[in-house]
Amino acid sequence: MVRERFAETQKKFIRGILFIIAITLSIVFIFGDHGLLQLYKLKKERSEIQKHISKLRENREQLISEKNRLENDLEYIEKLAREKYRMAKPGEKVFKVIPKQNNQDSNK
């Protein structure tokens, strides 16, 4: 009878120890430095970095296209000079259009 109680107590003690070890391993597996939570964060960060890289690649392609146009397309260069820098050919006059103000603004 005493042996049965001792064996029963020993079984409960071993189950308790195994349960504590299982919980500890689960916590380490989920929240540890190489756990599932860290893995999720790294995957999310990797996805954001991949998106940023693709945007930079698109921007690079646009800049290369713009560079080629500036080197080779005289009409494009002329258009930029006229619109952006308000340049004109000799003998041309450039007119600046001023938007009409509202009646409330002119009364003040």
Instruction: Give the whole-angstrom CA distance, residue 107 versus residue 73.
Output: 49
Q: How far apart are the first and last CA of the chain?
A: 106
pLDDT one-digit tens code per residue, 85-94:
888 888 888 7
pLDDT one-digit tens code per residue, 52-67:
999 999 999 999 999 9
pTM, entire model: 0.56
